[in-house]
Amino acid sequence: MIILLVLVPDSAMEHCLHIEKEYEKTINDYNEIIKMKPQNANVYYSQGFVYKDLKEYSKAIADYTKAIELNPKHTDAYDGRATVYERLKEYEKAISDYTKAIELEPKSISAYNSRGMIYEGLKEHNRTIADYTKIIELNPNHVDTYNNRGISYHGLKEYEKATADYTKAIEIQPRNVSSYYLRGFAYQELKQQKKAIADFKKAKELSQQRN
């Protein structure tokens, strides 16, 4: 049996301890503020954010929930709680919170994107496409969303629509390596081998230029 020892440099260990102490101090500060202002939703939200960073998810959820109880229109609290639910793989709860965040802030690209990514993970491609389409309506130059929607179309075997989205992404950002790779795979599905090879070559060329 071989035991591998990973030696952490003293400086790195000290840095970690410093951060841990800072988090602890921050939480203590928030607790003091809560004692003075127990009806302040923003304090609970901020403390929840710290607990989320510390991966103390049950405490984060409790604080986000309290913030929402105090202020039912606290969009960021819904968004923060949704993120925690997502990390815990409680996807239906995450979707519900992102949906509420969107109701409160209909132009929230981040909420649409996060909900769309969950739908994609659940293979609910049509719902994913609806969310990504809304993002494109809000920001027609959102390159990553064209790529992401293209992936969803690919999942539905709608390869023409997928190539159209990847092409649009390339028009906006001609040096986007991912778009060329993705379009190449879509062309393969369409049996357009010459176009596929050309895209793969272009993606490789751009990737090498980065290095």
Q: pLDDT grade, residue 65 (50/70/90)?
A: very high
Neighbours of 124 (CB within 10 A): 17
Instruction: Say how many domains are in the chain.
Output: 1
Maximum CA pair distance of the chain?
69
Domain membership of residue 191 (yes or no) is no
Which of 13-27, 114-128, 133-147 shows the lowest mean pLDDT across its residues? 13-27
Structural domain for 115, as ranges: 25-174
Q: What is the pLDDT of residue 20?
A: 60
Residue 159 in contact with residue 189, Cβ under 8 Å? yes
The conformation of residue 1, written as its DSSP 8-state character, comes to -
- CATH number for the domain that contains residue 73: 1.25.40.10
pTM, whole model, 2 decimals?
A: 0.84
124 in any annotated domain = yes
Q: What percent of the chain has pLDDT over 70?
A: 90
Dihedral sign for Cα atoms in the order 105, 106, 110, 115? positive
Q: Say if residue 93's pLDDT is above 60.
A: yes
Q: Decide if 103 is inside a domain.
A: yes
Residue 164: inside a domain: yes
Domain assignment present for residue 136? The answer is yes
Alpha carbon distance 5, 14 (integer Å): 19
Task: Compute the distance between CA of residue 77 and CA of residue 94 in angstroms, rounded to an integer.
Answer: 12
Looking at residue 123, the DSSP 8-state letter turns out to be T
197 belongs to a structural domain: no
Residue 80: inside a domain: yes
Contacts of 82 (CB under 8 A, 6+ apart): 93, 94, 95, 96, 97, 98, 101, 111, 114
> Rounded to 5 degrees, what are φ and ψ at 132?
-65, -35
Task: Report if residue 204 sits inside a domain.
Answer: no
- Give the closest residue to 149 by CA, choosing from 168, 133, 138: 133
User: At 21, is the pLDDT very low, low, confident or very high (cuts 50, 70, 90)?
Assistant: low
Give the pLDDT confidence score for residue 210 in this predicted structure: 81
Quote the CA–CA distance of 125 and 154 in Å, as a whole number. 9
